[in-house]
Amino acid sequence: MANESKLFEGKTVLLTGGTGSLGKIMVKTLLRGHHGVPGKIIVFSRDEAKQHFMRLDYLEQASRTEHALFDNFTRLLEFRIGDVRDYAAVCSAVRDAHIVVNAAALKQVPSCEYFPIEAVNTNILGAQNVIRAVQEVGHQVEVVVGVSTDKACKPVNVMGMSKALQERLFIAANLTSRRTRFVCVRYGNVLASRGSVIPLFHEQIESGGPVTVTTEKMTRFLMPLSKAVDTICAAIQDAQPGETFIPIAPAARIIDVARTLIGERPIEVRITGIRPGEKLYEALISEEEALRSVARGDYYAIAPMLPELQREAIERPALDAEYTSNNGLLDACEVLQLLERHQLLHGDVIREGHEILA
């Protein structure tokens, strides 16, 4: 594992989409230096407001001021405005990077269903811009991590389909990139991240309900953002070219999460029906991928499908069936323990920005 290594020591780390929930926790992890102190951390994203407030948080500025930007490029933590859709901007960002984590994405399922071309432009063409920029100008880049989602496994919605193609782009990039490893990570729902179900449930509870659940049968993987970051670090350190790292994570029925958060309060749980593009359960590893999966500590590693990238034959796969959120579900008591452990039983904790979730 990468916990106390010098994985990032002296390296320039580029985080595309770095102002999102994952990017914020990744930056905090890098600044703690448990994996070595980076030489530079570049947060690359298109939202200037999010960058501004993230910058102020790290500078501990009490007031809004433009002066925080003036010495941006001399600091360990550097912010750059840009969009992965813009090849020139991506080239500028990757030019001096050693490690690239591509977290830029359109990830809301309904938005991608209604505007599929936007998902294509960011999740597919944006990923290709990263690959091309690394190959053409990122001569120091050692490893690129494509951040994916359980929805990319056996996808039924545009978001999942676009992320599945992103995975294949990063895997295939290894065929023409001898000096850079391209690897992927794929994980499920992140507890209390922006847009996730737990903050929504807290808002509904505080307004007196009802708490809306699509169906009693729906299950999802549940893991803290810190585990997502750990998965990225593990892939940077240990993944072979073209491998996809999957965290071994708990799963639960969403209705059990809702009822646990409600507790003894007289609040209705209302069943609303499955939304466009949703599944009853999510899969992290398909039946076909299970045959190419091996155990790596707290993770599964899926070997690439392309024979040119396969290092050795897998005689004993770690799994003999698909790995889904219906496997080993937490019961109601275990859901309570999980939410207590990550301090998620109360909405005020989430509002105060509790996103570290160790």
37: its two tokens: 């102190």
> Among 25, 350, 353, which Cα is nearest to 199's?
350
* Token couple for 253: 């029925």
- Which residue ranges form the domains of the chain, and what is each CATH number? 12-351 (3.40.50.720)
Q: How far apart are the C-alpha atoms of 350 and 355, rounded to whole Å? A: 7
At 219-243, the pLDDT tens digits run 999 988 889 999 999 999 999 999 9
Reply yes or no on whether 151 is catalytic: yes
Mean per-residue pLDDT pooled into runs of 10, the chain (358 residues): 74 96 92 92 95 84 44 75 98 97 94 96 98 97 97 95 98 95 94 77 94 94 91 97 96 95 95 87 96 95 95 87 93 94 74 39
- Quote the pLDDT of residue 69: 46
pTM attached to this predicted model: 0.89
Furthest-apart CA atoms within the chain: distance in Å = 61
Alpha-carbon span 109 to 210, nearest angstrom: 23
pLDDT of residue 64: 43
The residue annotated as part of the active site, out of 151, 154, 163, 227, is 151
Query: Mean pLDDT for the chain?
Result: 89
Q: Give me 25's structure tokens.
A: 């926790």
Whole-number CA gyration radius for the chain? 20
- Per-residue tokens: 148: 């994916």
pLDDT of res. 199: 87
Angle between helices 126-136 and 158-172 (to 10 degrees): 10
In contact, 258 and 199? CB cutoff 8 Å: no
First to last CA, the chain: 16
332: which residues sit within 8 A by CB, 6+ positions away? 256, 259, 260
User: Could you read off the pLDDT of 34-71 as tens digits, one per residue?
Assistant: 899 999 999 999 999 999 989 888 876 444 444 444 45
> Under the phi-then-psi rule, with left for phi > 0, alpha for psi from -120 to 50, and beta for the rest, what region is 15?
beta
